[in-house]
Chains A and B, each alone.
Chain A
Amino acid sequence: MSDRLPSRAARLRAWLEERVPVAPLLALAREKRVPLHRHTIWYYLGGMTLFLFGIQVATGILLLLYYRPSANEAFESVQFIMTKVPFGWLIRSIHSWSANLLVFVAFAHMFSVFFLKAYRRPREITWFSGVLLLGLMMAFGFSGYLLPWNTLAFFATQVGTEVAGALPVVGHFALRLLRGGDQVTGGTLTRFYGFHVAVLPAIATALVGLHLVLVQQHGMSVPPGVASSSKERGEPGRTMPFLPNFLLRDLIGWCAALGALAALAALFPWELGAKADPFAPAPAGIRPEWYFCWTFQTLKILPGHILGIEGEILGILAIGAGGLLWLLVPFIDRTPAGGNGGATSRLLTLAGWVVLAYMTVMTLWVYVVPGGP
């Protein structure tokens, strides 16, 4: 019996290989190498983002089994998940904590790519897809925040959609599109649910696929400093195999992330709060999720009117224009990958630090001075 088993397994592998040829992919993975230098640690952020995205998909699917997307049942169904469904509290808490960690890691990944100049030719599309994916993750966060239909979520969504409504020309249309009417109602909840579990996942899946294919296609970018010193020494840079060396390290990071998520979920379970009451006054200290706080604070500190234009509109336009410039960074810094770049590249690095500092200060401002300016 025992000597027949391997042959059976071998036959099964051969049968599968004939129909689903994975050997070439495995060969490709074995050939794949990752540059080894003092900045290699930043390469793990991409894998970490993907891991957390996987956690979101898995926990999200489990939550879907019990969640009911209506104003009358949403809060109660989440309460049911947290109190009656075995490990429901854990799944929901991990989903919420992981969402926040995902956005944080995605931001860190984007800034590391920016400062290591990994967006340069020929990785412009990789950069675009990455920035768009970060935007999508924030949209996931915004739409998911409303789904428990609690007081904070209700009023934060009201404020958030009002920002979209303040856009010139398309504001009213955008507001109605998001809310499904003029007010935040059960219709908005159903709509956000649709965005959260169908529209955004479909787009995210396509973009993640594109992003991964391009990363495999172009390989890991070597930072300009590392590339130039290798060039000076006249020897190729050090590398390590992706399989298994890099993947094993990735796995250590993912296990650590899983442990952190478990600890956060067990020690600081995500609160449900009180059910939304559209007729109740907005509670004091309403603020959006932390990753929107810098925009929230920016709009808050702007004067009512600047040069005759409404301050809020000007702020939204400025943030929009800044986002567009950020997206177009590869076309501003046209130095090829590995090049040292000129004044423009150095100016961009400086601008990146300014943006990062601004976002950090504004976010901290919201938390340190809750009453605002």
Chain B
Amino acid sequence: MKPLVLLAAILFIVSGVAAAAEPPRPPSGPKPLETSCVQCHAQMDGELLEPTKHTGDDIHFLKGLSCHDCHGGNPLAGTDGDPEAAHDVSKGWTGKPARRQIPGFCAKCHADAVYMKRFDPHARVDQLSEYRTSVHGKKNAEGDERAAVCVDCHGVHGIRAVGDPRSSVYPTNVANTCASCHAKPEVMGRYFIPTTQFAEYKRSVHANALYAKGDLSAPTCNDCHGSHGAVPPGVENVASVCGSCHSREATLFRETEAKSKLDLSACIQCMVCHSNHAVLAPTDAMLGVGPVSTCTGCHAEGEPEYDAAAKMSDGLTRLVRIEADARQLLDRAAKAGVEVGPDLFALQKASDQIVEARVLAHGFDLDRFLAATNEGVKAAETGIDSGHRAFAELRYRRVGLALSLIVLVVVIASLALKIRQVETPDTEPPG
């Protein structure tokens, strides 16, 4: 019998654990505002009143969930002031979870694919497992009460949908949310983590795209570090992180590695030239051997790489100058009234080659780079020829106009003479 008892005991424990981890049933019973929870807490003060203030904007309330769906208890206990009836442990009352328990508390629902699909067929359910891989999650598992948990980023009550611009995790708010801890020396000091990232990020080309241009696809903290699985990217995977958006640059970088059979990851990575949080808008001056060149940081005069950088810079500078000249010429011709739409369209090839060359700079292949700039120069020179032709056409039109006007003046003068002739006193009929 003993094995059977043991088996029964194991089954009992497993079923108990399973029951404890079981997510709540879909919303049922009283509506959020009709529960005894809201009705009683609405009459309280301070933090006990706080949750009832968010019944109109919290995503859970809006989806029909109520207090007891997270905290358990009896929502039908009435409003006679008996908290024991409402906080009925036999009905699953858990109260306020400890910080360490919060990830598991939220994951009761958010890690359950079947449950979450009832609300959103695309809902992700990997947040907890991701979180466990993060620095935050590991610290939490170690018992660090200060490590960030779900509510530190998403809020406690009054949690809004990620797509809501007022949400603390909406793209334009993410950096501020992260900075609420990561920009505070008193918080980060104990972990020996610098707190300059937020200030640096705000100066970056990424922040400019996100805030000034309103481009919601521009990267913010979680796009590089991950959301729930937040970790600082190591040196070995910076290129992968940047390459998730800048894919061509990353591919060229990898090609160079493969071709040279060198492991460049340890010495040159994106951030060596572009920095990490303070990624400034790149300029052509970063290429070459000038005062703001990033190449000269590693390559000294006399090295073949130094010469290659100089040649690349010369090629790109020449292409940019000729393309600008061609565009200016064609724009002037257009303002003067010559239709140069097809020529401007053809000049786009030169502009494309500028972009192409700027990308190819990440391949460190001089021949390939110069082939691209030469192709662009050829297109730009065609544009300049078209501009000169447009101005020749303009001169031709003006000469033609002058000749036509001379002919017309002669005709008008002849007609005037003819009128004088037919209207002499001898010929003019009486009125």
Contacts and interface: CB of A to CB of B under 8 A. Distances in A.
Interface of A: 36, 79, 82-83, 89-90, 236-241, 244-245, 248-249, 251-252, 255-256, 258-259, 262-263, 266-269, 271-272
B290 to A, nearest CB: 38
Nearest to A75: B341
A263 B401 contact: yes
A255 B339 contact: no
Contacts of A269: 337-339
B404 interface: yes
B339 A262 contact: no
A36 B130 CA distance: 98
Contact of B418 (A236, A248, A258): A248
Interface in B88-121: none
A83 B334 CA distance: 12
A245 B427 CA distance: 11
Nearest to B410: A255
A149 to B, nearest CB: 13
B415 A259 contact: no
Nearest to A236: B431
Nearest to B396: A266
B342 A79 contact: yes
B284 interface: no
B401 A267 contact: yes
B405 interface: yes
B412 A237 contact: no
Given A266-B401, A267-B337, 18 more contacts: A83-B339, A89-B338, A236-B431, A240-B431, A245-B419, A245-B423, A252-B412, A252-B419, A255-B408, A255-B415, A256-B408, A256-B412, A259-B404, A259-B409, A262-B401, A266-B397, A268-B337, A272-B341
B416 A252 contact: yes
A263 B429 contact: no
B422 interface: yes
A237 B431 contact: yes
B246 interface: no
Nearest to A93: B337
B418 A79 contact: no
Given A36-B431, A266-B398, A266-B400, A255 B411 contact: yes
Main secondary structure, interface of B, reads helix
Nearest to A258: B408
Contacts of B416: 252
A204 B338 CA distance: 33
A238 B423 CA distance: 14
A263 B341 CA distance: 23
Contacts of A239: 431
Contacts, number: 67
Given A248-B418, A255-B415, A238 B401 contact: no
Given A79-B342, A245-B422, A262 B405 contact: yes
Nearest to A80: B342
Nearest to B431: A238
Contacts of A259: 404-405, 408-409
19 contacts: A36-B431, A83-B341, A83-B342, A89-B338, A236-B431, A238-B431, A240-B429, A244-B418, A248-B418, A252-B416, A255-B408, A255-B411, A255-B415, A256-B412, A266-B398, A266-B400, A266-B401, A267-B337, A272-B341
A337 B40 CA distance: 93
Contacts of B397: 89-90, 266
Interface of B: 337-339, 341-342, 397-398, 400-401, 404-405, 408-409, 411-412, 415-416, 418-419, 422-423, 428-429, 431
B344 to A, nearest CB: 10
Contacts of A236: 431
B417 to A, nearest CB: 10
Contacts of B429: 240-241
* Most B Cβ at <10 Å: residue of A236, A237, A251: A251
B371 to A, nearest CB: 31
Given A82-B339, A83-B339, A262 B418 contact: no
A252 B409 CA distance: 9
B420 to A, nearest CB: 10
Contacts of B342: 79, 83
B415 A248 contact: yes
A251 B415 contact: yes
A266 B418 CA distance: 30
Contacts of B409: 259
B405 A263 contact: yes
Contact of A248 (B337, B404, B419): B419
A266 B405 CA distance: 11
B431 A249 contact: no
B41 to A, nearest CB: 46
Given A236-B431, A267-B337, A255 B412 contact: yes
B429 to A, nearest CB: 6
Contacts of A238: 431
A244 to B, nearest CB: 6
B401 to A, nearest CB: 4
Nearest to A249: B419
A263 to B, nearest CB: 6
Contacts of A252: 412, 415-416, 419
Contacts of A36: 431
A262 B431 contact: no
Contacts of A258: 408
A236 B429 CA distance: 14
A4 to B, nearest CB: 31
Nearest to A81: B339
Contacts of B338: 89, 269
Contacts of A248: 415, 418-419, 422
A62 B275 CA distance: 62
A262 B408 CA distance: 10
Nearest to B399: A266
Contacts of A256: 408, 412
A248 B423 CA distance: 11
The 9 closest A-B pairs by CB, nearest first: A238-B431, A269-B337, A266-B401, A82-B339, A259-B408, A266-B397, A248-B419, A255-B412, A252-B415
A248 B415 CA distance: 6
* Most A Cβ at <10 Å: residue of B339, B404, B405: B339
B254 to A, nearest CB: 37
A79 to B, nearest CB: 5
Contacts of A83: 339, 341-342
A252 B419 CA distance: 10
A259 B425 CA distance: 32
Contacts of A79: 339, 341-342
A301 B419 CA distance: 51
A13 B419 CA distance: 27
Contacts of B423: 240, 245
A238 B429 CA distance: 10
